[in-house]
A = this chain, B = another copy of it.
Amino acid sequence: MENTGIYSYLVQPYQVDFQQKINFTTLGNYLIQSAGIHAEERGFGLQQLLENKKAWFLTRLAIDIEQYPLQFEKIWIETWVSEVGDRFTTRNFNILNRNKEVIGGASSSWAMIDLTTRRPASLSNLIGNDYVDGNLACRVMQPEKVPSVSKDLAPTEQLTVKYSDLDTNSHVNSMRYMQWMLDLFPLELYQERHIGRFEINYAAETHYSDNVALYKEEVQPSEEFIIELKKEPAKTVCRGKVTFR
């Protein structure tokens, strides 16, 4: 089997925003779905892990996009594993338009969690070296550590975790955090510019009825923002860096 897998999606009307551009959360879901199929095909997918009471856990994700697919457009996601360490593995992606021209890319970092102990599990021997290829070209830098917001910043928004926010582990779905971050920007900014890069670090889990405070700091006016989500009192849940172009 090849190192890379490539999968197509047809962008549905309910997966786009008011400008008919694909939602970032949908794009993230396509990436994760592609990662899932690619891993499943090679013996280390979520279903296979669940049989051993383990699961994949997304720790970092960076998405770079130059051209947004619109509703009814076909899009291709190409993915491969570029590196495997003991605790983390890096998976890269190319995002291609219907003509298979690269319009963006993504890089992600994953850990494996032991669902019995709720602790990280070793990745050694899980992914055969046959499937790892560090030489394949990806335009996207590995996701880096996003800095904290300033200590004196007041929250921009506060919310409470609800039923529809939860995934199968009873934690907030990783794309929902992204959605909450996107909703901190005014519509005018989306009309004038577009997000060129979105980087997110996941640090802790949130549960039903948790209160979450969202802090947004403008690093470069209308261009670069750092967002931090904290559980009360002050535990970081995740951090995002959003770059508008």
Contact = CB atoms under 8 A, between A and B. Distances in A.
A25 B209 CA distance: 21
Contact of A163 (B17, B46, B47, B162): B17
B33 A173 contact: no
Contacts of A187: 163, 208-209
Given A17-B166, A18-B168, 7 more contacts: A12-B29, A13-B36, A14-B175, A17-B168, A18-B166, A47-B72, A163-B185
A187 B175 CA distance: 20
Contacts of A166: 17-18
A37 to B, nearest CB: 10
How many copies of this kind of chain does the complex include? 2
B29 A168 contact: no
B32 A168 contact: no
A19 B18 CA distance: 31
Interface in A13-54: 13-14, 16-20, 23, 25, 29, 32-33, 36, 46-47
11 contacts: A13-B32, A14-B32, A16-B167, A17-B163, A17-B164, A18-B166, A19-B168, A162-B183, A163-B187, A164-B182, A164-B183
Contacts of A209: 187
A32 B13 CA distance: 9
Interface string A180-193: 00110101001000
A161 B91 CA distance: 35
Nearest to A169: B18
A129 interface: no
The 3 A-B residue pairs with the shortest CB-CB distance, nearest first, are A162-B183, A18-B166, A18-B170
Nearest to A165: B183
Given A170-B18, A187-B208, A46 B164 contact: no
A14 B163 contact: no
Interface in A140-173: 162-164, 166-170, 173
